[in-house]
A and B are shown apart, each in its own frame.
Chain A
């Protein structure tokens, strides 16, 4: 009754304010489990479950070999050298295909991205060809190139060319016009603008393309090697199918997965090295 209305408005009772206490994020992260531990827990649980199902006989070896059998098979394949030679053959195919596709994509995207003429001549057919599923070309490739290394390398090359081309071309076309203008006022000619502005600004998009291309490269290789090959991971897998050797098939799948992971790590390393200038968001 004694407080004036004004006073009551200026000083609300403390209970009227809903507060939160903000604690340090770094401190909170510190007392949690390290991330690599968290990341490895769920795969380990899955493998343990798989082993359990095999041991009690729910999963038979003809359906899916147990993890322990798979490990033993891998050791045996390592001992007789078939694992190494399959991996080397497949990696060489991917690298060769990637090399061919990289050169083709960089040349085509640079020409199409930098020159109006190049865009007219190159981009329209690329956009059309892009819609053809690469795997569908296998019969043609076999007719044209036989069953040796060429069709496999070309298949991988075609599979990587399109994602690389699309991303590099898009990256070049998305360059910030205000930076080009700044470069002109600094006295950079056309070549200097390409070198110091256009290509560096296209790099992030290009690396996204590279990452995607590596994924499609392995996919193309799996097809190339299972349909027509006398060596390589896909060949081993196809051979194993005839004997219901699910252990070898799982070993081969694991090899593909590991190689895919390694490729992804290499691109991530490239990104860290080449894109450290970017104000990046690394996630929570």
Chain B
């Protein structure tokens, strides 16, 4: 099968057909199919090492050593577990890095305002706290006005309180921007608090795919929330 990532206008935000990725003859992703609607918030769960990051990197066009067909939006943004800011650039320059034309300070300030970081526009990344750095990375993603936002465990390095705030922020900006989101997480409650749809990856495929039809903001005490939570935990092999 020919490799390569093709791009065209489709009604889907993401369309994956028969995707396979091997590392030294071991297929981590095997014949995987996945569609994501525009504007849909999808959470991807799965045991550690099952290939979630591998899938996300393929969708981010960081890995083309694949077979199968992958269609993704031209405008994408990625948030990693670590903020990955350039330490030698002031925060605002990090935010607009890679945008065409001269670095536009106003655009950076607007994006940083959105994530509550206006007071940190002119500092070096080294002085940011973990939560602030992750918010700067989110601003950097949003300023690109992506049609698809790929997030790989973006909250997992944050402390519990900061994580709740950051989670709320992602919810908020997603509602405002309306981009499709693929959030990789290992936290079932986080997935159910944010997503329209949850996926569980298993044996190199999407092994479980279910909608989350709960009113927003999500209520943890809702019996339906509890039921989905129990079902997902069972799927993940936690009883």
Contact = CB atoms under 8 A, between A and B. Distances in A.
B84 interface: yes
Interface string A203-221: 1000000000000000000
Interface in A174-224: 178-179, 181-188, 192, 196-197, 200-201, 203
Contact of B89 (A187, A188, A196): A196
B126 A279 contact: yes
Contacts of A182: 78, 80, 84, 86
B97 A186 contact: yes
A186 B62 contact: no
Contacts of A197: 86
A178 B80 contact: yes
Interface string B94-136: 0001110000000000000000000000001110000000000
A178 B86 CA distance: 10
Chain A at the B interface: mostly helix, strand, loop or mixed? helix
Interface string A240-284: 000000000000000000000000000000000000111100000
Contact of B98 (A186, A201, A278): A186
B62 to A, nearest CB: 6
Contacts, number: 52
A200 B97 contact: no
Given A185-B62, A186-B97, A196-B97, A277 B82 contact: no
B64 to A, nearest CB: 12
A201 B88 contact: yes
B228 interface: no
24 contacts: A179-B84, A179-B86, A182-B78, A182-B84, A183-B97, A185-B60, A185-B62, A185-B76, A185-B78, A186-B98, A186-B140, A187-B98, A187-B144, A196-B89, A200-B88, A200-B89, A201-B88, A277-B87, A277-B89, A277-B124, A277-B126, A278-B87, A278-B126, A279-B126
Interface of A: 178-179, 181-188, 192, 196-197, 200-201, 203, 276-279
